[in-house]
Amino acid sequence: MNTFSIKNVLKKNVMTIALIVIYVFFTIMTGGNMFTPSNVTSLIEQNAYVFILGVGMLMCMLTGGNIDLSVGSFVCFMGAIAGVLSVIKHVNTPLTLILVVVVGVIYGAILGFLIAYLKIPPWIATLAGYLAFRGLGTQILISVSDTSAISNFPPELLGIFSGRIFESAWGTLNIPCIVLGVIGAAAVVYINISTRANKVKKGYQADPLGFVIGKSVLEVAVILILAYQLAMDGGIPVVLIWIIAVLIIYGIITEKTTIGRHFMTVGGNAETARLSGINNKLVMFCAYLNMAVLTVLASLIVTARFGSANSFAGQNFEMDAIAACIVGGVSAYGGSGTVMGMVIGAALIGVINQGMSLMSIDQDWIKIVKGAVLLAAVVFDILSKKGNKRQ
């Protein structure tokens, strides 16, 4: 039985539609400034940490609505550690990267052990990290710098997480960027068509061919427009490569692997998961270990973007990551959510931030609007589930 309908499509893509509408609104209100190449690039670079941390937070939330409140403070702490190693101690870049990852793994393992095996509630364990790492990071920076900041990072370290690929002069069309955009668009079309063909071949329910073609056209248009904008602003930001890599890897993990299904099952019904042979404790442990490693990556990206480590780095990052997940349709109770949904949520939060900033609206009002959007997303999710149960 084919249950495809335009109503269902609209219902499933409410946040995507909201993202488009809000982006168009701010583009109009800013006289087109939101759509300039430099601001498109800025939107990606400023919100890179949200996409990275959002993926990690998604994995935590899938296990039962659990969150990590320590990520913002840990970003500050890891930035300080990276600064001490590479700038103060003059440790070479490869070893610096290895050491900061090791520190992240150690913290993630400790946190995962406390939560999964000692049964300490996640919000308490991560709240401790929220307080401790902000203090530790600040004290490290104060002890090595009169300005409470470390700058002059090695160019080779900064180049791994910032800058452009195949960089060209601003305003000059970057051909490699356009070529990669065309390749990406072709890949999207191939994936959409082949996915539908496989469903039809196996006798599964599939969307109408016309809908798949229309969807592909829209996605190709977005990719090509983005590629053109980036091409006119010097090329593809390095940070975008990191974002795409993380999103693809975790998209495959959550959608195509047994590990991803284990996360979903534990969050949906922990007892059922246990009885089916899933190691619930190990899943929870891995969720927080993974979160710590991704936080290290986010810290390096933020440090590279500003070229310095300071005590203010990471403030409210945990809230942005949680908001991206909730707005993107990740269940606050666990068991459901997608990487693509989180991406939509992160993009929506980023567009609101940038749009209101370009309109010179006070930061307090930006926080109010983001809070309202978050609440609206939760209410919509609850009402949608009630509506589905009645049907």
Q: Evaluate the CA torsion angle 378, 52, 123, 287 in order and state its sign.
A: positive
Kindly report the pTM of this predicted structure. Answer: 0.92
Kindly tell me if the per-residue pLDDT of 389 is higher than 60: no
| pLDDT for res 388 | 58
pLDDT in tens, 174-202: 999 999 999 999 999 999 999 889 888 88
DSSP E strand boundaries for 279-339: 309-310
Q: Determine phi and psi for 309, rounding to 5 degrees.
A: -115, 130
Minimum mean pLDDT range among 27-36, 77-86, 88-97, 196-205: 196-205
How many other C-beta atoms lie within 10 A of the C-beta of residue 149?
19
- Name the average pLDDT for the chain: 91
pLDDT in tens, 342-384: 999 999 999 999 999 999 899 889 889 888 888 888 887 777 7
Instruction: Report the alpha-carbon distance of residue 382 to residue 167 in Å, rounded.
Output: 46
pLDDT in tens, 267-305: 888 888 888 899 999 999 999 999 999 999 999 999 999
